[in-house]
């Protein structure tokens, strides 16, 4: 008995005795015991509430797919031109970068939770303005406000989720934002196919109202509270998020150790902020994610999302274009959920390769078919094998959803230092939505210059070329602690491919 106590002594902390292993001096830290974990249910509920706001991002994307054909039809109460349609589709992406930068500043100054509360205000106002729009200018203003709110919600929702989630849940819960976006797109496709565009906008205002109310019941993240030297509040927050099954003292001490090791203090001066932004631990992951988003957007996903009805019509598919659009939205939601599960099991790199190769191949096939569609039209021939473009678009959406629509958004909450996670997270989502704007706004121009087949061929080529970039530069962050990831980008460790050697701190 004396020997047993002697052996166990090094593993007693805060009065809690850990399980003794055969080699106690080297405990397996990469798989912490389940007895010390918090309640998964509490973390899941928090992630669900926070990511309600991301549904609006999908609704902003999906709105134009059903609204534009209505507005361009001859019997519409407000008829618009092709140029006005492209502005309606893309203006939400103009407001989004502003919202991204604003949310980044707010996150690091007033906290993650308060920022998420503020994001709902422009969303509610924007949808109401669109709903009561009497002219195209009002729609423009509403789309800008909706884009502003969508940009503001992106980074804080993902940062909040990753900061309150334990490592074994972080990948899956971090992917909830992508589920929210896909759900928002599907909502717009279904409601938009059955009602008018202004009623659709009015119904869309319900989601940010519910999200706003939900945020009042959640606490601020412990990580942010610790950066503000509010240890007692951080402990209360962690208690709400973990429940009684978690060793709260142990986890909060790890967070404090992380804060002390990395000198995590509030950045008060412009010089301090600039220095932190130019540090390798910030610039390296920012460069990787900025290029990731560029490749991901230029694979053509939001062209399909924003112009879904028109793309199906141009493809020569014989089935009802609205039914095809809705079924594509259903596929997107289903495989976003599948991608969340796979992200926990397969890691970031494999899913990214699935997307880049799969999307590129599907776009090339669609491009070749559209070339023949043009040939058949020029020669007054009926289209053949009309299932090919439908299958190509469906496969494209499946491949894109499994990796591109999930992985980079999760990594926003993982790869940046705590001090500037808000600012750089906002800048990253800003870059992402600027890419969205360029793709969506240039689609009509590319169609006229390269034809449909040339445009989708370009998207496919860029996606396939991106595979080489991902292979060389994209690290695998699955199962890694935030400390290990920061150490890697700071140059303190050479690789993330080995087993975990750090203790979990966030």
pLDDT value of position 1:
46
- Please name which of 53, 40, 326 lies closest in space to residue 193, comparing C-alpha atoms: 326
Nearest-angstrom CA–CA distance, 196 and 478: 44
CB 201 within 8 A of CB 56: no
Q: What per-residue confidence (pLDDT) applies to 124? A: 94
pLDDT per residue as tens digits for the range 410-449: 888 788 887 777 788 778 878 887 888 888 888 888 988 9
With residue 17 as reference, give the H or E element that holds it: strand 16-17
* Alpha helices, H only, 243-386: 248-261, 270-277, 280-297, 301-306, 308-314, 321-346, 348-378
- Comparing 25-34, 249-258, 432-441, 469-478, which segment has the lowest mean pLDDT? 25-34
Task: Indicate the Cα dihedral angle 288, 290, 296, 301, nearest 10°.
Answer: 160
pLDDT band with cut points at 50, 70 and 90 for residue 473: very high
Structure tokens at 261: 């090791």
Under the banding of pLDDT at 50, 70 and 90, the label for residue 268 is: low
Other CB atoms within 10 Å distance of the CB of residue 24? 14
In percent, the amount of the chain with pLDDT more than 90 equals 23
Provide the mean pLDDT of the chain: 81
CA pair distance 326, 308, nearest whole angstrom: 9
Picking from 43, 36, 253, 282, the residue whose alpha carbon sits closest to that of residue 161 is 43
Instruction: Report whether 222 contacts 230 (CB < 8 A).
Output: no
Reference 259, options 139, 36, 421; nearest CA is 421
Closest CA to 152 of 84, 104, 198, 188: 104
Q: Which has the closest alpha carbon to 417: 280, 269, 239?
A: 280
**Whole-angstrom Cα distance, residue 331 to residue 315?**
19
**φ/ψ (deg, to 5) at 133:** -60, 135
**Phi, psi of 51, rounded to the nearest 5 degrees:** -85, 5
- H or E segment at 142? helix 136-164
pLDDT band, residue 264 (cuts 50/70/90)? low
Instruction: Please answer whether residues 85 and 71 qualify as being in contact, where contact means their C-beta atoms are separated by less than 8 angstroms.
Output: yes
Q: 399 and 331 in contact (C-beta within 8 Å)? A: no
Q: Is the dihedral of CA 493, 499, 504, 506 positive or negative?
A: positive
Residue 17: how many CB atoms within 10 A of its CB?
A: 11
- Between residues 418 and 52, the one the model is more confident about: 52
189 three-class SS: helix
Which are the contacts of 91, defined by CB distance < 8 A and separation ≥ 6? 140, 143, 144, 147
Rounded Cα distance, 101 and 424, in Å: 8
The C-alpha atoms of residue 321 and residue 318 are separated, in whole angstroms, by 8
Q: What pLDDT sits at residue 324?
A: 82
Helices 54-72 and 136-164, packing angle to 10 deg:
160
More confident residue, 435 or 245: 435
């Amino acid at each position: 008995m004396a020997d047993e106590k002697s052996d166990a002594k090094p593993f007693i902390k805060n009065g809690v005795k850990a399980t003794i292993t055969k080699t106690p001096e080297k405990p397996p830290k990469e798989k912490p015991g389940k007895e010390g974990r918090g309640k998964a249910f509490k973390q899941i509920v928090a992630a669900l509430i926070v990511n309600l706001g991301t549904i609006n991002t999908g609704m902003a994307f999906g709105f134009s797919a059903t609204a534009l054909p209505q507005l361009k039809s001859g019997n519409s109460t407000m008829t618009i031109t092709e140029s006005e349609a492209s502005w309606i589709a893309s203006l939400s992406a103009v407001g989004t970068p502003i919202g991204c930068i604003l949310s980044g500043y707010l996150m690091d100054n007033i906290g993650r939770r308060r920022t998420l509360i503020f994001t709902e205000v422009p969303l509610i106002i924007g949808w109401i303005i669109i709903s009561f729009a009497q002219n195209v200018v009002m729609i423009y203003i509403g789309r800008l406000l909706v884009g502003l709110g969508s940009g503001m919600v992106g980074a804080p929702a993902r940062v909040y989720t990753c900061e309150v989630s334990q490592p074994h849940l972080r990948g899956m819960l971090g992917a909830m934002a992508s589920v929210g976006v896909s759900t928002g797109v599907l909502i717009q496709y279904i409601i938009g196919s059955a009602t008018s565009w202004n009623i659709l906008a009015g119904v869309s205002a319900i989601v940010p109202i519910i999200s706003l109310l939900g945020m009042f019941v959640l606490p601020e993240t412990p990580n942010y509270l610790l950066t503000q030297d509010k240890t007692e509040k951080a402990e209360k927050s962690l208690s709400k998020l973990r429940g009684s099954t978690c060793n709260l003292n142990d986890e909060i001490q790890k967070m404090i150790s992380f804060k002390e090791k990395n000198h995590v203090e509030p950045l008060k001066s412009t010089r301090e902020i600039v220095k932190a932004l130019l540090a390798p631990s910030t610039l390296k992951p920012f460069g990787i994610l900025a290029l990731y988003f560029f490749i991901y957007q230029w694979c053509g996903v939001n062209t399909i999302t924003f112009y879904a009805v028109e793309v199906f019509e141009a493809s020569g598919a014989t089935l009802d274009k609205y039914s095809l659009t809705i079924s594509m939205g259903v596929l997107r939601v289903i495989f976003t959920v599948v991608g969340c599960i796979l992200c926990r099991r397969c890691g970031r790199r494999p899913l990214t390769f699935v997307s880049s190769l799969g999307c590129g191949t599907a776009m090339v096939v669609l491009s070749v078919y559209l070339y023949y569609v043009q040939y058949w039209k020029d020669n007054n021939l009926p289209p053949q094998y009309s299932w090919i473009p439908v299958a190509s678009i469906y496969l494209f959406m499946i491949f894109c959803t499994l990796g591109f629509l999930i992985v980079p958004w999760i990594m926003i909450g993982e790869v940046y230092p705590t001090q500037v996670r808000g600012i750089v997270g906002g800048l990253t989502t800003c870059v992402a939505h600027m890419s969205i704007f360029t793709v969506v706004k240039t689609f009509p121009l590319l169609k006229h210059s390269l034809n449909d087949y040339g445009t989708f061929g370009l998207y496919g080529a860029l996606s396939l070329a991106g595979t080489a970039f991902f292979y060389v530069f994209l690290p695998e962050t699955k199962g890694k602690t935030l400390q290990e990831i920061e150490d890697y980008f700071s140059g303190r460790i050479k690789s993330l491919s080995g087993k975990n050697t750090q203790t979990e701190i966030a």
